[in-house]
Structure 1
Amino acid sequence: MADALNIVTRPLLAKVHDVAVEGADLSDSVRDLRVKVEIMARGHERLATALQSASGAVSKGFMEVLDILHRLASDRNGTTGPQQGTSQLAQLMARIISVKQAFRLRLSDRTASATCSADVYCNTGRTWVELVDVTEDVLRVDRDEALNWLLKTVQLPGRRKANVLVTMRVCAPILRVKPHLMQIWKQTTVSAFFKGIGITLESMMSDLATLWLNSDAYIDFELGKPCMVGATGRLLCMMGGGDMVTEPTTVGGRPVVRCTLGHVALASCFVRSVFEGKAGLRPRRRAGLGEGILEQWESELARLDGLLPMEDKEHDGFAAD
């Protein structure tokens, strides 16, 4: 009987041993995969930081070029002909840079300090009114002069080749501030969200992106919601609304974001557009100065209206009203 039992159980024990070995190998593979995902997430964050640093370096270099043009203009103050044209161009570019900087601050301050969801991201008409107001303040002229200056057709250095002058209205390079600002905010928001979920943007496949879009998991799932809280907090801090984010004071605590539903919609529409692009539901292109963000934001605002409680009390890290 003992020999019979040994004969029957020996293959079973061998198979159990093989399963245990395969389980150990699988555990090691999962651990190695987790380490690789963490390394890729850190690399994505470093890439986003490098892009922001590069943007600052380009702006600094452009300001140095303008400073050189200013010095040339002051040295040739009494000349005529092409040299005089260089002086006028330098003065015009200096004014445009001043208005752009003030306009960028106005957009950031208005977005961060909005107390109503509808005021977080305004349409083109409201943006144009704000630009005229900023031009009045910076150039110290009346409204008609500011409007005429913005609509004046001039020759400015091209975006691809700075030594080639392109005919455009003065307002054209200034209005680019808004989509460029949205791109910076989007990079920051998306980087923070994907770092939270532990997935790199490069490794996101179409089927996985579709899963995150189903049932709005990126904002309504137990993993997606806290990551969206962190991404919204990063966005608010970047635009100057750091006082709207309460950091955790205890071990294991979570941050709380007190803002309008429009702020949450702005962050989540950035994340949703990335998922839709990965899933093949949105073309990967920019649509001019407006970029279509207003329509995305309005759709997201309507979507979140039924998902997030609109009250002053905190729910899962959000206190959106």
Structure 2
Amino acid sequence: MDLLRASPGVGTATPSALSIIEKIMEIKCLVRGHQVERTGKTTRSGDVCLSAARSLKEYVSVTAGFLGVDEAEASDWLQSYVDMPTRKDPSVVKRIRRSAPVARVKAHCIYQWKDIVIAAYFAAIGLPRDAVAAQQALQLLSDMAYLLSVRGFPAMLCALEALLLHQGAGFRIVEPISAGDRKVIHCTLGHVALVTSFVRHVLEVIAGLRPARGGVGEGIFDVWVLELPRVDGVLPHDDEEHAGLRLVEGTDPCRGQVPKDGEEGPADLVEPAGNGSGDADV
């Protein structure tokens, strides 16, 4: 389904019949669906995590498809104001831009993805996150041991698998068929960097190298941008399988580069291979 031009499901009210707040809620659901699918199924590293400007373009495209208008009209619609009840007290109404609730979808997804990755990663290395000491965090950060060590790499694969299953991209995980085969994850460099950026961020907080902040939001993009070339420099530059990981754009010399804000995207999504573990519920 083309989520950029998705329409309400059978039996739902048409956009023209919905109130402004109902339209915003519908658009939030569509944006979340598109973001999850784009992140899980993209074949280009640069589309795994988007800048604020490219995210806004995504919101506008989804809104245009839902409202049945062009993107200029959708942008104007999102920049208009609406009186919306606050989450803490629905009896209190606050005037906000219509784009504000839509933009929060990204942060909510990132919070959820980070929780999934961190839980799977630290379970795989056999060390609960809350039990990691500052010195242990420093050891895992040293020479990127959180990715390259004998425990770090398999733990990264476990976290990557958990994330892809959550995003409905289980087809990327090819289970062994014959004796001696092993499970192989087919993904982009950007997917690996997203997982390791979550892990690195937590380790740096534990080690006292960065402050512990409550928010994630757009900040994860900056963390991911720094992590992408690190991972690019240590993983093979081919499209062969290595220790259970195959980078689908492994030979692409631009795989570690972040698209500019004005660049079109996201790229086409990869189609399910049909021999993976199947799509999971999102």
TM (normalized to structure 2)?
0.78
Question: Could you tell me which residue of structure 2 aligns to residue 259 of structure 1?
Answer: 187
Q: Is residue 2:55 matched to residue 1:127?
A: yes
Question: Could you tell me which residue of structure 1 aligns to residue 237 of structure 2?
Answer: 310
Moved more, 110-119 or 260-269: 110-119
Question: Could you tell me which residue of structure 1 aligns to residue 98 of structure 2?
Answer: 170
Question: Could you tell me which residue of structure 2 aligns to residue 146 of structure 1?
Answer: 74
Distance 2:132 2:88 in 1: 32
- Spell out, residue by residue over 1:165-218, the C-alpha distance to the aligned partner (whole angstroms, 9 max, x if none): 112101001100001101101111111111101111111111111111111111
Question: Could you tell me which residue of structure 2 aligns to residue 118 of structure 1?
Answer: 46
Question: Could you tell me which residue of structure 2 aligns to residue 198 of structure 1?
Answer: 126
Distance 1:162 1:213 in 2: 45
Distance 2:217 2:149 in 1: 33
- Other structure's SS at 1:202 match: helix
Q: Higher RCO, 1 or 2 (CA under 8 Å, sep at least 6)?
A: 2
Question: Could you tell me which residue of structure 2 aligns to residue 53 of structure 1?
Answer: none
**Which of 183, 194, 201 does residue 111 from structure 2 map onto?**
183
Moved more, 189-198 or 248-257: 248-257
Distance 1:269 1:100, change over 3 A: same
Higher helix content, 1 or 2 = 1
CA contact 1:276–1:282 (8 Å) conserved in 2: yes
State the number of aligned residues.
233
CA contact 2:110–2:216 (8 Å) conserved in 1: no
- Other structure's SS at 1:306 match: helix
- Other structure's SS at 1:176 match: helix
Moved more, 143-152 or 175-184: 143-152
Q: Is residue 2:199 matched to residue 1:277?
A: no
CA contact 2:197–2:224 (8 Å) conserved in 1: yes
User: Structure 2: which amino acid aligns with 1:293?
Assistant: I
Distance 1:157 1:111, change over 3 A: same
Cα RMSD after superposing both structures: 2.0
Distance 2:88 2:181 in 1: 48
Distance 1:253 1:192 in 2: 23
Structure 2 residue runs of 5 or longer lacking an equivalent are: 1-12, 251-282
User: Structure 1: which amino acid aligns with 2:233?
Assistant: G
Distance 1:274 1:249, change over 3 A: farther
Q: Is residue 2:224 matched to residue 1:297?
A: yes
- Other structure's SS at 1:215 match: helix
TM (normalized to structure 1)?
0.68
User: Structure 2: which amino acid aligns with 1:126?
Assistant: R
Distance 1:298 1:176 in 2: 20
Distance 1:119 1:274 in 2: 23
CA contact 1:179–1:289 (8 Å) conserved in 2: yes
Identity %: 38
